[in-house]
Amino acid sequence: MTLDKGPRRILSRLVSARAATCSVVLSFVLSGAAYPKDAEQSASTDQLQAKIAYCENCHGVAAQGFHGYYPIPRLAGQQPEYIKNQLQAFIEHRRTNNIMFNVAHVLSATLLDGLTENFQKLNPKPLTSPAPEDLIAAGKKIYEEGIEKSDVPPCAGCHGPDAKGNDQFPRLAGQLSDYIFNKLTNWSKERGQNPANPDTSTIMAPIAHSLTEQQIKAVAAYLNQLE
């Protein structure tokens, strides 16, 4: 199996990644602190590029997403505020994910700015999974009209008519369909895990609960192919 442009980008970043890795480790050792002090230190380009390459190792070429053991979500074109909220949720264990906890808790605020700005600008084609046309059509209907009898509002109301999101509302366009399926199905098992500290994930809980499995599959199929 051969790939084209993406891995070459990864490979070309390797040279700077190796140097950056050494400088990152050294800066942590010298600073003696768990988090670098943001006011005094802006993330160097090398450091940022190395971190981007690391994210893309799992999140895919140009952060298009990747089918690892788990479906690993698309970050390309994602709203910076949403990414920052999720990373914070991982750190505080309000959102359950051991791998992302480990990723998130070493990121400085300035590195976060650089990362989220970078991901927002990426625009690879969606990483699509095959889906029947009628399922996609059913998903489009749910996305645009909601499901009145189950009190499910139209997704477009918050996520936008083109599913590109806004501020804290995430982009859904081009997201991996199995990722969307997993998240909606497991919403309350993974998010808002600290009842004493409720967060923005609460908005989605009733919606995730009210959607049937088939409806979730339909919405996921529709969103997956949206550019």
Partner 1 sequence: MKFFGSHSFQLVGVVGLQLALVAIALTVADRVHGAERSAMHEGNVPAKLAYCEDCHGPSGQGFHGYFPIPRLAGQQTAYLKNQLEAFVEHRRTNNIMFNVAHSLSPGMISALADDFHAFVPPPLGGGARHLVPTGEKIFQNGVPEANVAACAACHGPNAQGGGEIPRLAGQLPDYVFNKLINWSRERGQIPSKPDTSAVMSPVAHSLTRPQVEAVAAYLSYLK
The answer to whether residue 19 forms part of the interface with partner 1 (CB under 8 A) is: no
Q: Between the CA of residue 139 and those of 2, 12, 112, what are the distances in Å?
A: 33, 39, 33
The answer to whether residue 91 forms part of the interface with partner 1 (CB under 8 A) is: no
Burial of 103 (0-12, 13-18, 19+ CB in 10 A): middle
| Residue number with CB closer to partner 1 (37 or 67) | 67
Q: Between the CA of residue 212 and those of 135, 158, 159, what are the distances in Å?
A: 14, 20, 20
The answer to whether residue 31 forms part of the interface with partner 1 (CB under 8 A) is: no
User: Which of 43, 48, 53, 155 contacts partner 1 by CB under 8 A?
Assistant: 53
- Total residues at the site for partner 1 (CB under 8 A)? 34
The Cα 198–Cα 140 span in angstroms is 30
The answer to whether residue 205 forms part of the interface with partner 1 (CB under 8 A) is: no
The answer to whether residue 25 forms part of the interface with partner 1 (CB under 8 A) is: yes
The answer to whether residue 87 forms part of the interface with partner 1 (CB under 8 A) is: no
Which range binds partner 1 by CB under 8 A, 11-19, 119-127, 164-172, 183-191? 11-19
Cβ(46)–Cβ(52) under 8 Å?
no
Which of 140, 136, 137 shows the shortest CA–CA distance to 128? 136
Q: How far is the CB of 218 from partner 1 (least distance, A)?
A: 24
Q: How far is the CB of 200 from partner 1 (least distance, A)?
A: 25
The answer to whether residue 105 forms part of the interface with partner 1 (CB under 8 A) is: yes
The answer to whether residue 198 forms part of the interface with partner 1 (CB under 8 A) is: no
The answer to whether residue 69 forms part of the interface with partner 1 (CB under 8 A) is: yes
**Both tokens of residue 109?**
């605020």
The answer to whether residue 72 forms part of the interface with partner 1 (CB under 8 A) is: yes
The answer to whether residue 57 forms part of the interface with partner 1 (CB under 8 A) is: yes
Q: How far is the CB of 70 from partner 1 (least distance, A)?
A: 7
DSSP 33: S
**Both tokens of residue 85?**
């909220």
Q: How far is the CB of 54 from partner 1 (least distance, A)?
A: 4
The Cα 77–Cα 20 span in angstroms is 25
The Cα 109–Cα 215 span in angstroms is 38
The Cα 199–Cα 89 span in angstroms is 9
Residues contributing to the site for partner 1 (CB under 8 A): 1-4, 7-8, 10-11, 14, 17-18, 20-21, 24-25, 28, 50-51, 53-54, 57-58, 66-70, 72, 98-99, 102-103, 105-106
